[in-house]
Amino acid sequence: MKKSIDLTKNGQCSRCGGCCASIIPATNQEIAAAHDYAVTHGYKPALPKDANLVYLQCPYLKKHKGGTTSCAVYPARPSICRVFLCSLTPTAGIQAFLSQKGDPNATPVNLWESWGQTGIRLNGHTVTTQNAAQAHLELDDGRILDLRQGQAVRPIPHADDPMEAGMILGFTPNGIYFTNGPSGIIELKYDDLDDIRT
């Protein structure tokens, strides 16, 4: 089983921000609640100024001097954020999530999307959801798959090893560039797209 990385202090959140990913399982209601809270309280996220970046941290993560962080929408944060502790194993984390009435149908989403963003900037140009590259693909079984740069996708098998949910970076003639952070950037062949569910 995959081991947890414990960054807590005596079992309590250390506010390091390491778990605050832009891609989390959340419902449409949770996404809207976080966005509405931010707007009501005058908060608007901004990407770092780097010319080229794939930002995989939550748009609501506020960084402070001294290395600590805080959540800009803490009272309206999604249910996964309310129960997650990095000291838990993945199995224990899922059990805690569901026992706290987490929605088992919550799907991986990129929280930047509620701001019309993808979390990607290339050559100084921010990739918005409007100008993101898109692909309209027909799979062997006849299903149609619409994918967009910056879109979050569910965990997928790759080289016989399940990969965590991640982000689509772009498209090539042969496949999709994809990252989930720890695995770096890989190219998923279109022939393997039956294993991807958006």
Report whether 1 contacts 91 (CB < 8 A). yes
| Pair (41, 89) in one structural domain | yes
Domains contained in the chain, number: 2
| Pair (31, 96) in one structural domain | yes
Run of H or E including 14: none
| Pair (68, 31) in one structural domain | yes
| Pair (101, 28) in one structural domain | yes
At residue 56, the pLDDT reads 93
17 within domain boundaries: no
125 within domain boundaries: no
One DSSP character per residue, 71-112 reads ETTGGG--HHHHH--TTS-HHHHHHHHHHTT--TT-EEEEGG
Report whether 30 contacts 38 (CB < 8 A). no
At residue 9, the pLDDT reads 77
**Count of all residues that appear for the chain in the document:** 198
154 within domain boundaries: yes
Closest Cα partner for 78 from 113, 43, 30, 17?
Answer: 30
Structural domain boundaries enclosing 41? 23-48+57-111
Run of H or E including 35: helix 28-40
Mean pLDDT for each consecutive 10-residue tract of the chain (198 residues)? 65 80 90 97 95 95 90 93 75 70 77 96 96 88 88 78 84 90 85 70
At residue 45, the pLDDT reads 96
Alpha carbon distance 167, 151 (integer Å): 6
